[in-house]
Amino acid sequence: MVTIPSRRKRATIHDVAVEAGVSRGTVSRVVNDEPYVSAAARIAIEAAIEKVGYVPNNAARSLVMQRSEAVGFIVHEPHSLFLDDPNIGGILLGANTVLSRADYQMVSLVIDSQRDTDRVARYLSGGFVDGVIIVSARQEDPIIRVIEKLRLPAAFVGHPPDLRQLPFVGIDNRASARAITERLMQTGRRRIGMVAAALDRDSGADRLAGFTDALGDRFDPALVARVPLYTFTDGALGMRDLLDRDPLIDGVFAASDAVAAGALEALREAGRSVPGDVGIVGFDDSSWALRTQPHLSTVHQPAFGLGAAAAQCVLGQLRGEEQPAGGILLETPIVWRDSA
């Protein structure tokens, strides 16, 4: 029979005080980096902390300070997309870099159903995080109203139409989509369509609006294939749909690089060469853009910078700083490669 050793008792401030031969108040001042402790006492206490293995109880400290020293990172996407989407990964890394420098933990929360929304709402109401960063919120997203009600310091990546006065960081999806479509038009393409994805959120709707702006009188609604998500699979399905509608299509704007990669696969299956027969452009400048053959012409979305800016926004609110009205917009240059 295997004997499982009992869990070692956690060292306390009292243990440190006994070992160092000082009062618990003196130990507390050293642990909290407060003044009025002699150099000799500080050295003795630090040695005692090392010897007894004392670790401050952050949970108790949080109760006293009414701070968790954690920020939630909420992603409203299917669980599979949370893992596969390189933009979400870049935003997450940017946010975590800034938060870790400020000694804040980041807690990831994925919403893929009403049950998830209810669960996350209960979690936020429990005071487990001091603020939140929200990615991919939809119009009339219930999590927006929860954050408003709790008055949590928050920063949205993107700008749903009903965001009201809540802070956000983002890009001008509409202007960027218009610019990349106009660049595609300059290559001489005549029948230009779009695989439009994620139209239930601001990024997808704005990219379709920018595409429409660029084409003007040449816009043909029949050459817009609507798909649910920014995924390779949906890109392939959308491209097959466009080819069925108009086999003579010679230009395509895909709503993301993952969508463009799927569209390229569908074109390859159909025996269409890129960029010879069809020029295609994407959006994001993610890792997908360099995994395709040919490499994608695209719009650079600064995912890491968006995450970092969102984290700075939340930390600024926690410090009581005023946030800029109208949100923060980052630049999105066109990156021109071989696909068009």
pLDDT band at 55 (very low <50, low <70, confident <90, very high): confident
- Which comes out higher in pLDDT, residue 264 or 40? 264
**CB distance 64 to 32 below 8 Å:** no
pLDDT band at 57 (very low <50, low <70, confident <90, very high): low
Identify the pLDDT of residue 33.
80
Tell me: pLDDT of 64 over 80. Answer: no
Report which of 238, 240, 241 is spatially closest to residue 255, judged by C-alpha positions.
Answer: 238
**CB distance 267 to 244 below 8 Å:** no
Tokens of 92: 């997450």
Measured in degrees and rounded to the nearest 5, phi and psi for residue 250 equal -125, 5
Tell me: pLDDT of 59 over 50. Answer: no
Strands of the chain (E only): list them.
70-76, 105-111, 131-135, 154-157, 168-170, 192-197, 224-227, 251-254, 279-281, 298-299, 328-329, 334-335
How many C-beta neighbours within 10 Å does residue 163 have?
20
Q: Rounded CA gap, 120 and 125, in Å? A: 8
Give, for 22, the enclosing helix (H) or strand (E): none
Instruction: Give the rounded distance of the alpha carbon of 163 from its chain centre.
Output: 17
> In the chain, what percentage of residues exceed pLDDT 90?
68
Indicate the Cα dihedral angle 231, 233, 238, 239, nearest 10°: 110
SS3 content of the chain, % helix, strand, coil (to 5): 45, 15, 35
The residue-averaged pLDDT of 100-112 equals 94
- Which comes out higher in pLDDT, residue 13 or 253? 253
Identify the pLDDT of residue 36.
87
How confident is the model over 205-247, as pLDDT tens digits? 999 999 999 999 999 999 999 999 999 999 999 999 999 999 9
CA distances from residue 85 to 3, 92, 149, 262 in whole angstroms, order as listed: 46, 11, 30, 14
- Which comes out higher in pLDDT, residue 222 or 159? 222
Question: Mean pLDDT across the chain, nearest whole number?
Answer: 90
Tell me: pLDDT of 273 over 50. Answer: yes
How confident is the model over 287-325, as pLDDT tens digits? 999 999 999 999 999 999 999 999 999 999 999 998 877
Identify the pLDDT of residue 28.
86
Q: Rounded CA gap, 59 and 75, in Å? A: 26
- Which comes out higher in pLDDT, residue 166 or 104? 104
- Which comes out higher in pLDDT, residue 182 or 24? 182
Identify the pLDDT of residue 66.
54
The residue-averaged pLDDT of 98-122 equals 93
Identify the pLDDT of residue 227.
98
Q: Rounded CA gap, 279 and 78, in Å? A: 30
Q: Highest mean pLDDT range out of 37-51, 81-95, 203-217?
A: 203-217
Tell me: pLDDT of 26 over 80. Answer: yes
Q: Rounded CA gap, 50 and 47, in Å? A: 5
The residue-averaged pLDDT of 116-134 equals 92
Least confident interval from 70-74, 112-116, 237-241: 112-116
Q: Parallel, antiparallel, or unpaired for β 105-111 and 70-76? A: parallel
**CB distance 168 to 146 below 8 Å:** no
